[in-house]
Structure 1
Amino acid sequence: MVFHRSLTRELTFTAVGVFVVLLAILVTTQTINLLGRAAEGRIANEAVAALIGFWSLGLFPLLLILTVFISTLVVLTRVWRDHEMAVWLSSGIGLKDWIWPLLRFALPFAAIVALLTLYVSPWAAYRSKEYAEVLKQREEMSAISPGIFKESGSANRVYFIEQYSALHGTARQVFMQEISEGKVATILARAGKVTTNEHGERVLELNDGRRYVGTPGQADVEEAHFERYRVILGEAPPTIGEITHIQSRPTTALLASDAPSDKAELAWRLSLPAACVLLALLALPLSYFNPRSGHTYNLVYALIAFLLYQNALTLVRNWIGSGQLPPATMAAVHLALLALTLALVWLRSQPAAPLTRTLAALVRKA
């Protein structure tokens, strides 16, 4: 039908625009945050792009759900505002006839959300946590941003480098100050890198530099020039163990677990595809707009409905995780929203009448 094709085409074009805008806003915000942390030396510069990628993959399900809801609401509100809905209603196409085109639009998004939520997002969360652990276990000098003074984790060394090559793992123009046994050692070197010796110890190798050792408050300072200078930093970091963050656990592991927290996470993952479809249907009655009034209160109602629905899902997930409710309770929230949506569609399909009169007629029929 022309009606189905035109609606699907407009929804698709609007969804692409909404998704691009939402993704650009969120990625820009996260990029600024990570660049600030990199400038402070809290993360390595080369880690910014990878962390943004992992973070974006984990955020895609929520972005797609918001895209479906917002695009459906915007398109249907425009249909009411431009009197197109009046034309369709007068031609015999009621509100219930809009349900199937909306499902055709929302179901592919729901399938993508299911794929991301059940498989891709846990993998991205695991890799992100793993990458963060790797960065934590790297020697401090490799995580220094050039031009920034950085204190070591043990608080007994301060580093400063002018250049760092992530490809070769070497630093140029290295400054290091170390406090040991009441003496301060200051080292200036042209180059340096961190290696691991045959005993499994991390060794800082500095080339072509000078070392100054002295006691604060005293004039005697020892000066020495070296071609190669090695400092044992400590034992090599242990192999990264299993990351137990619940959001990074595979769905198969959640299915095999009886822990309430795992059941809550599984129920949450399964609820996101359903939420994608239900919010698209909810936008149908909430998009009602009276062009004569000039007020778009329906957008406020839609925002309130979305926040209530999201908070209800989050609250039920927390109760399931604490063992207060069974996992099937999550389905009750979806069924309640579905019942509310169908009731609103039925009310909007009735002839114009005050709400009290409509409710009274509904009670008499019951």
Structure 2
Amino acid sequence: MIYQKQFVKETTFTAIAIFLVVLAILVFTQGINMLGRAADGRVAVDAVVALIGFWTVGMTPLLIVLTAYISILTVLTRYWRDSEMAIWLSSGLSLRQWAKPVLTFAVPLAILVAVMQLAVLPWAELRSREYAEILKQKQNLSLVEQGTFAELGKNSQRVYFVETFDTNNGVMKNLFVREVDKKTGNDNVIFAKEGTFDLSDNRRTLVLKQGIRYSGTAGRGDFSRISFERLDLIINTTPKIVNPIDHRRTIPTQKLFGSNNPQHQAELMWRVSLPLTVILLSLLAIPISYFNPRSGNSYHVFVAVGFFLLYQNGLTLLRDAVEDGKIPFWLGLLPMHVLIIACTIVLMRMRSMPAKPFWSGLKAALFGVK
């Protein structure tokens, strides 16, 4: 029908505009946050742009939910304000018949959100964490300065000095390293002609070549001297590269099904909920969009915001309850969706009746009382 094509067209253009504006604001805000973290050394400078990209991908599903809700609400409110909806109702057509064009617009977005939630986001989250950690480790290597005494590794009793450092190939010349053996308390002093950092096997190692190692206690004259061709000093043995098992958001969706882990169930509940949210909020926007052009009041905007906050915060609270093991999976998944469906049905009945005070209309919609 003509009205359906026109509605989908208007809503699509409105949604594109809303999505781009909100996305620009969020990206700008996150960019400032990332630059601040990079300045503090918590994020590698080279990773800022990539991490903003991964963060944007992660925010897209929720942004699509909000965009669909606002765009449908905006277009239908304009129909009420311009009396187009009054013409629609006076022609003998029901408000419920708007469900079809609304779903025509909302279902593709729900499918897009489902694909992103179930397949794209776990991959993007894992790549984001891996990328950030790798660049951070590489940035730590780039902080080596020649001609300066510095601590080797955090919380370490090793001090090193590098005479020359080739930043292109990462080779250090004429190294001095002093460390304290925690077991014996001896001082170890190492001289080497060449050294490099190795990041293989998820550990950071200083590889020294062609050197001498002195070990003993100062003032006792018991130092021993050992020559070596290669010596590996492990700086960090804790793997920092993210393992999918370590964080629920990086686990592939197929591994979440059937899991008894409350955290996995909470994550699955959230991934399944967002596509349903697109559909239900879009239908809820039909009765909420009611606007009386004579009164000029815009109370429906506050009602729309209230429903959105109630829906999203309710889902978040239920997800946290599932994660803590307080409630089972289905009890966390269903209540908010059922509540929104019930509210949509009741409000649709109210808007299909002649105008009445709110409480009278609500009573009539619930109990059929005139």
TM-aligned CA deviation for residue 318 of structure 1? 1.5
TM-aligned CA deviation for residue 202 of structure 1? 2.2
Q: Does 1:291 pair with 2:271? A: no
Secondary structure in structure 1 of the residue aligned to 2:325: coil
Structure 1 segments (4+ residues) deviating >6 Å = 155-159, 176-181
Secondary structure in structure 1 of the residue aligned to 2:206: strand
Q: Does 1:129 pair with 2:132? A: no
- Rounded to whole Å, the distance in 2 between the matches of 1:5 and 1:281 is 17
Provide, for residues 219-242 of structure 1, a one-character-per-residue CA deviation record: whole Å limited to 9, x for no partner: xxxxxxxxxxxx987447565462
1:300 to 282, 299, 302: 302
Secondary structure in structure 2 of the residue aligned to 1:46: helix
Counterpart of 2:96, as a letter, is: K
Counterpart of 2:88, as a letter, is: W
1:349 to 348, 352, 355: 352
TM-aligned CA deviation for residue 39 of structure 1? 2.9
Residues 80, 86 of structure 1: 8 Å contact kept: yes
Residues 159, 179 of structure 2: 8 Å contact kept: no
Counterpart of 2:121, as a letter, is: S
TM-aligned CA deviation for residue 303 of structure 1? 0.6
Q: Does 1:78 pair with 2:78? A: yes
Residues 197, 203 of structure 1: 8 Å contact kept: no
Counterpart of 2:10, as a letter, is: E
Counterpart of 1:242 in structure 2 is 243
TM-aligned CA deviation for residue 49 of structure 1? 1.6
Stretch deviating more after TM superposition (329-338 or 344-353) = 329-338
Counterpart of 2:65 in structure 1 is 65
Secondary structure in structure 1 of the residue aligned to 2:255: helix
Counterpart of 1:227 in structure 2 is none
Residues 43, 143 of structure 1: 8 Å contact kept: no
Counterpart of 1:31, as a letter, is: G
Secondary structure in structure 2 of the residue aligned to 1:101: helix
Q: How does 1:177-216 map to 2 (within 5 A)?
A: 194-196=196-198, 201-203=205-207
Q: Does 1:104 pair with 2:104? A: yes
Counterpart of 1:335 in structure 2 is 338
Counterpart of 1:202, as a letter, is: L
Counterpart of 1:36 in structure 2 is 36
Residues 266, 329 of structure 2: 8 Å contact kept: yes
Counterpart of 2:260 in structure 1 is 258
TM-aligned CA deviation for residue 154 of structure 1? 4.0
TM-score (norm 1): 0.76
Change (3 A) 1:234 1:357: closer
Q: How does 1:105-120 map to 2 (within 5 A)?
A: 105-120=105-120
Change (3 A) 1:28 1:179: farther
Counterpart of 2:50, as a letter, is: A
Change (3 A) 1:314 1:143: farther
- Rounded to whole Å, the distance in 2 between the matches of 1:177 and 1:40 is 29
Counterpart of 1:212 in structure 2 is none
- Rounded to whole Å, the distance in 2 between the matches of 1:346 and 1:364 is 10
Counterpart of 1:6 in structure 2 is 6
- Structure 2: runs of 5 or more not aligned: 145-149, 181-193, 210-230
Residues 346, 362 of structure 2: 8 Å contact kept: no
- Rounded to whole Å, the distance in 2 between the matches of 1:31 and 1:364 is 54
TM-aligned CA deviation for residue 180 of structure 1? 7.4
- Rounded to whole Å, the distance in 1 between the matches of 2:79 and 2:341 is 23
| Cα RMSD for the two superposed structures | 3.7
- Rounded to whole Å, the distance in 2 between the matches of 1:169 and 1:107 is 53
Counterpart of 2:357, as a letter, is: P
Counterpart of 1:266, as a letter, is: L
- Rounded to whole Å, the distance in 2 between the matches of 1:123 and 1:320 is 23
Counterpart of 1:184 in structure 2 is none
Change (3 A) 1:334 1:169: farther
TM-aligned CA deviation for residue 132 of structure 1? 3.0
- Structure 1: runs of 5 or more not aligned: 145-149, 182-191, 206-230
Identity %: 44
Provide, for residues 303-347 of structure 1, a one-character-per-residue CA deviation record: whole Å limited to 9, x for no partner: 111111111111111222222222112123201211110110110
Residues 130, 242 of structure 2: 8 Å contact kept: no
Aligned pairs, number: 323
